[in-house]
Structure 1
């Protein structure tokens, strides 16, 4: 998936797939509370619509958050240590530097205006509360909207209970001053029309529909499940069956809330109306986390009682009954449960004594998938594999968690974590990859080829993260095992890791010896994959820093040819990046720029934020040396806004790298002057992600300096009040603070800010703040 589909400052809220019915009062109240409270938690029973309400509220306030509204879905997170990782990934922060994820989040959010939606916190309350408390203390511009069946109990938390939809009274009346009772009926009608287009609430069936809604206590999920039955039953028949079913219901402890009993009864009823085969598939498919595809369902869920060839039709039947939701992706149709329905299926699976068996099948299927992706990675299908594995992220996590928490499966987990090595690198998930491999190595400590392989992969991640001591220790353990067993393949990788560690420790001579040794071993073994190409890339850097530029270029051309021969794009892009270092050093700026832009296009396709940051930075160096200092300053500003998305400048923040960066930036500053440099830098930092990539690729004109009309004079005079508001914006105050300072309503303050931005031709508060500062300096000069 291209970066442009993900890296939007507006955030990552999903599109609504079904209509949203009413909830105007709840939306208004949530918006009001969110304007004053920094943590708002929507609570309520399962199926009451907390997530849909949160998403609707978040969409309604999007414009108030300059850096976007971001959704972190936590329902499928079962490893409590991955909460901060998951939130960082939702914010599109691909941590390369190996930092502690909570600290990374705090630093990223500290100076940003963001609304973070934490969805489904109830099973991770302690972790979510700790995260919310930590980031809210440090990030003044952050607001959090959480959904949870249990409150977080964080200081300053405002709790908004989410109740069911109002339903009509039996006599059709309602108490004075209460909301319209037609909301639940409207929801039933909306969902019924999707199932039976000719359906309409009429005088003949309105009391039956109202009775259904009353029987279901106005619970949205229960109403949707009932509406799906209109394919086979009339509204009257549905009501009669609900009455019969609920009359027979034994509710268990009186302490169980009535609405929970209602939802349980409704799902029980829906389950009983499924065919035995559909019931079996519902229970077995609940083993998936997130979404899943047909091949996985056929492999994992099929059995003697459920032939693989029947799975597709059964999935379609569950979709028709609103048990499953289907989404279309480039890699094929995906299916998913609402979390409440998945939990129900898991309970049925446990009751049948099949849960452990299905979890083992699930883990082995995803090991098979990872190994297949690992074999196929070095070829023309890399982008397809990355997209496929991204869609399976929740399932990969679940398979790893099962293996590393179930006795006897640690080595399967070790194989799986290691087999995903190109996924960890290609998706920028190095911190999570190392988390899983570290856990697996800690559990499966017996010397083996699987352990040795995992060691060099983990060491490779550690090198990229700049953790050279850990990488060196793991490489030596791997090497010792390989030498003791005569495993030349594993030994070649261990030598590569030792060479990479030497390269990024600044020992270029030793790095060259080791890397050339590793490459000779790979060639003798006939071993060729993306890691081998990265060994060439690493050797190119060592050669450049020793002044052997011709050799570096020859290595790059050879590695590039190998990639093109096999259709590899990802490693080819890094090869081109390495070539630009040699070409930049030799003064071949036109060639270096062409290679950097070619590489950047590939990195953009792969959504490789780390590679994008490296290449934008390199293009800034090239522009400065080519005498295009204003372009260089803009690109430095662009790189500055991208680096936080990968946790800052990681291993490439070595002495040589930082020295080159500093020299280029200082020269551009001297050439332009401080004021012009800062203005150009600011323009680059304010570019949207797509704009930034397009500019770096030379596909858009140089961002124009602010015109006199916007830099010095507004398009229309600011009133005295607007001038006051502008000054307060420049001081960093938000709209609610401005409203309090000037004793006006928040809405009035928002209106003032919007009119000021329009008059000045700006779109961001940061632009307004810079303009106010320039005006102040101009008056004082």
Structure 2
């Protein structure tokens, strides 16, 4: 029996068995081999060995001598030898010893995957023996393989040590990972030729392709499919930018930045951050729903001009009319494909539906009546549960010709689709029709609780909300919202998915437009928008405290799902000049905006309030000033930032908000310490007041933050034992309350205090904890700082290559995420400067260049590789 803790020296390298079909995955096998060899491991691959024995004996022997199993899969199941029941590909997986770690990678898209491979992958997914990831390009595969093997090596190394340690967070890569192309739940029918055409255009060098067609024609689905087909041609794959909820052309760059993991911190022009982040990338951007932000078209061409390695595939109902644009008209489905789509969607609601001699003509004519529009076909097919194809055709023929409201000025096919939506809506019960209209206020999807609240006029029982999930609504006005919502899903007017075991609902853009128009025509739009805003205001009040404790990770993810709704609620409040509630919504989620890099956007909201000329309450003005100035604390040459923050603190004081005043004093202290001549004495006085206020208000989260700032003051004053004490107390508070963000901040600062006091091992543990927590949270700023702490550790040990790689990884992370205020909070550059002074400049530069190519997971694995990180002291 092999030992689970074996770590071989370089001359006894770990062997990595690679299983795949040989011909269809040759580039991927080369990429995996290179990744394995970069880690100084030994690839075990069929093509690398002599073959004096039959293949099955050979790979059985290979497997017996291997330490890790890697499986690469795409479309082919592989050859089944005579007298064998399975292919060599499946046999290799079956023969893999149970104790071998299994890392499996599946390539997409796979339009022609063989059934037996599908069966094998389904079995693998359900046997819980293997890690299972998807990839698109050989480069992406190499990154995944190298990162996963590095993590596995770190875990094996740590298991062989006496002291336990923290694993590399499995989701570290999402810190700055772009939004990859979503995978639709249903197959795309009848677009094979279109996919090939668009792929050829991109291959031929087109950099801006606009897919043109009316709403509901299938532009988005085609763009996703063509994007997946083309992603392997781009070294960094494809990213998805959804503009469905973006109504202001000025926010398009923000949406692109968000999709690419670039933070909107407000510290520099976002275009500059995007150019820096994309400068060394070769990537396809699939940008959906551009017709509502056409004024932003020049921003796209400016980005293309500045970054030669990117291309864009854009969907729009109209041309962008900019240079370099190549258009592709998306037409209706041909008859055969229309019937296939109708049949598939009909079976979703009536599984026994079949095309027969009796109904074939009616089905074909239904598809022709709706002009082969995919969405219209889906809406019609959803009614097959209660209407036969002949009855469906009769109703469509009679009603589409008279439904003209709001659509006569639209192109013909657009009129057809709008009339089909209206026809489908007229078949709804009154409560269902009313709910459909009210759901038009949501942006980017909605939860069941939100639908119940808005669907029932936004009324609720007193005292509810305690559990943070359920909203009990008054049913007098809205009836049974859940039942009505189910009917809308059954009618294909609303789509349902599952997120973290909770149902979530969406509407196609054109259906949402129709619903919102109906709501406006009824005169209820503002009332329902207000109900929508009240739901999210109450949600913010419920989660504000949980963002500072044990519910932090969960609520950061859940608020991410509601980001567009939060923006929509804020836009409504700002547009209504409801400055008090707009400020309240912004301030209650301060931690969320900061961690996810959206403070720049919040600043623009609050600037509107300050510039309105309206009389603002003290509390609202305090919040607006805080957000307007806090992101600039580190750059205050004339003292104006500190002055405005002082005003904000005084306004919070006058309005009786102790915690708000204390938080503002943190930013004020940072501003006082940021100049060339830090005013540490005044900063200390400010923070002592802040600490007292947090303690008086019972905020342990705030108390831990104040202790960190007092520790920073002590560091600047070279009072190292005092700094150590402050940081240690802060860390203890954060761990007692489950505050991961605070733990990240406190452990990072504690690391520097330990390092300056000469406790290198303890410093390494503290920096490693900061890296681990930051990666788990997806807190890119914290991760950059933690890596920089580990740079100092490596530099002190004389490990030039490791120090350089970590420094390069941190620099790339900052550039790709738009972070600018690093020098304010880190001290690692002095350690790098010392290496240069010692004559290691050239070697360091090479290592920094290598580090810039590391993925986030690789950087985290590198940082933690030598950290014997212990369980934290109480």
The interval holding the TM-score normalised by the smaller chain is: 0.7 to 0.9
Deviations 1:402-442 (A, max 9, x none): 111124x2221121122221111121222122222222333
Matched residue of 1:154: which SS?
Answer: coil
What does 1:450-599 correspond to in 2, within 5 Å? 450-463=620-633, 469=639, 471-481=641-651, 490-505=660-675, 506-507=677-678, 509-510=680-681, 512-522=683-693, 525-599=696-770
Which of 571, 581, 586 aligns to 1:401? It is 571
Contact 1:462 1:470 in 2 (8 A): no
The alpha-carbon distance between structure 1 residues 523 and 145, as it changes in their structure 2 partners (threshold 3 A), is closer
Corresponding position of 1:337:
507
Contact 1:219 1:263 in 2 (8 A): yes
Counterpart-to-counterpart distance in 2, 1:393 and 1:464: 27
Contact 1:97 1:647 in 2 (8 A): no
Q: TM-score by structure 2 length? A: 0.74
The alpha-carbon distance between structure 1 residues 672 and 113, as it changes in their structure 2 partners (threshold 3 A), is farther
What does 1:20-99 correspond to in 2, within 5 Å? 20-34=188-202, 35-96=204-265, 98-99=267-268
Corresponding position of 1:19:
187
RMSD over aligned Cα atoms: 2.6
Corresponding position of 1:693:
860
What does 1:294-693 correspond to in 2, within 5 Å? 294-303=448-457, 310-330=480-500, 332-407=502-577, 409-443=578-612, 445-463=615-633, 469=639, 471-481=641-651, 490-505=660-675, 506-507=677-678, 509-510=680-681, 512-522=683-693, 525-648=696-819, 650-654=820-824, 657=826, 660-668=827-835, 673=840, 676-693=843-860
Matched residue of 1:70: which SS?
Answer: strand
Deviations 1:132-183 (A, max 9, x none): 121111111111111111111111111111111112xxxxxxxxxxxxxx11
The alpha-carbon distance between structure 1 residues 485 and 326, as it changes in their structure 2 partners (threshold 3 A), is closer
Contact 1:452 1:478 in 2 (8 A): yes
Corresponding position of 2:378:
224
Counterpart-to-counterpart distance in 1, 2:686 and 2:516: 50
> Once the 2 structures are TM-superposed, how far is the Cα of residue 223 of structure 1 from its aligned partner?
0.5
Flag structure 2 segments of 5+ consecutive residues without an equivalent. Answer: 1-168, 458-473, 869-874
Bigger drift between 92-101 and 489-498 goes to 489-498
The alpha-carbon distance between structure 1 residues 253 and 563, as it changes in their structure 2 partners (threshold 3 A), is closer
Matched residue of 2:751: which SS?
Answer: helix
Which of 302, 313, 335 aligns to 1:134? It is 302
Corresponding position of 1:120:
289
The alpha-carbon distance between structure 1 residues 223 and 113, as it changes in their structure 2 partners (threshold 3 A), is same
Bigger drift between 311-320 and 9-18 goes to 9-18
Bigger drift between 597-606 and 692-701 goes to 692-701
Corresponding position of 1:772:
none
Counterpart-to-counterpart distance in 1, 2:703 and 2:205: 55
Corresponding position of 1:712:
none
1:268 and 2:422 are equivalent in the alignment: yes
Counterpart-to-counterpart distance in 2, 1:192 and 1:165: 17
Deviations 1:664-684 (A, max 9, x none): 224445778455434433432
Matched residue of 2:211: which SS?
Answer: strand
Contact 2:788 2:810 in 1 (8 A): yes
Counterpart-to-counterpart distance in 2, 1:486 and 1:238: 64
Counterpart-to-counterpart distance in 2, 1:217 and 1:445: 55
Contact 1:27 1:53 in 2 (8 A): yes
Deviations 1:215-244 (A, max 9, x none): 110000000111111222222221121112
> Once the 2 structures are TM-superposed, how far is the Cα of residue 11 of structure 1 from its aligned partner?
5.1
Which of 350, 355, 358 aligns to 1:204? It is 358
> Once the 2 structures are TM-superposed, how far is the Cα of residue 460 of structure 1 from its aligned partner?
3.0
Matched residue of 1:274: which SS?
Answer: coil
The alpha-carbon distance between structure 1 residues 428 and 66, as it changes in their structure 2 partners (threshold 3 A), is same
Contact 1:632 1:668 in 2 (8 A): no
The alpha-carbon distance between structure 1 residues 678 and 253, as it changes in their structure 2 partners (threshold 3 A), is closer
Contact 2:217 2:374 in 1 (8 A): yes
Corresponding position of 1:144:
312
Matched residue of 1:327: which SS?
Answer: strand
Corresponding position of 1:733:
none
Contact 2:176 2:780 in 1 (8 A): no
Counterpart-to-counterpart distance in 2, 1:632 and 1:100: 31
The alpha-carbon distance between structure 1 residues 5 and 310, as it changes in their structure 2 partners (threshold 3 A), is farther
Contact 2:602 2:627 in 1 (8 A): no
Number of matched pairs:
681
Contact 1:500 1:515 in 2 (8 A): no
The alpha-carbon distance between structure 1 residues 340 and 699, as it changes in their structure 2 partners (threshold 3 A), is farther
Contact 1:556 1:579 in 2 (8 A): yes
Counterpart-to-counterpart distance in 2, 1:29 and 1:499: 59
Bigger drift between 87-96 and 516-525 goes to 516-525
> Once the 2 structures are TM-superposed, how far is the Cα of residue 368 of structure 1 from its aligned partner?
1.5
> Once the 2 structures are TM-superposed, how far is the Cα of residue 495 of structure 1 from its aligned partner?
3.4
Counterpart-to-counterpart distance in 1, 2:476 and 2:632: 45
What does 1:222-261 correspond to in 2, within 5 Å? 222-250=376-404, 256-261=410-415
Deviations 1:464-496 (A, max 9, x none): 677985531321222443566777655444433
> Once the 2 structures are TM-superposed, how far is the Cα of residue 461 of structure 1 from its aligned partner?
3.0
The alpha-carbon distance between structure 1 residues 501 and 253, as it changes in their structure 2 partners (threshold 3 A), is closer
> Once the 2 structures are TM-superposed, how far is the Cα of residue 87 of structure 1 from its aligned partner?
1.0
Deviations 1:362-392 (A, max 9, x none): 1122112112222332221111111121111
> Once the 2 structures are TM-superposed, how far is the Cα of residue 694 of structure 1 from its aligned partner?
2.3
- Structure with greater helix share of residues: 1
Bigger drift between 26-35 and 131-140 goes to 26-35
Counterpart-to-counterpart distance in 2, 1:488 and 1:526: 7
The alpha-carbon distance between structure 1 residues 22 and 673, as it changes in their structure 2 partners (threshold 3 A), is farther
> Once the 2 structures are TM-superposed, how far is the Cα of residue 279 of structure 1 from its aligned partner?
0.5
Counterpart-to-counterpart distance in 1, 2:771 and 2:623: 31
The alpha-carbon distance between structure 1 residues 700 and 298, as it changes in their structure 2 partners (threshold 3 A), is same
> Once the 2 structures are TM-superposed, how far is the Cα of residue 130 of structure 1 from its aligned partner?
1.9
1:291 and 2:459 are equivalent in the alignment: no
Corresponding position of 1:737:
none
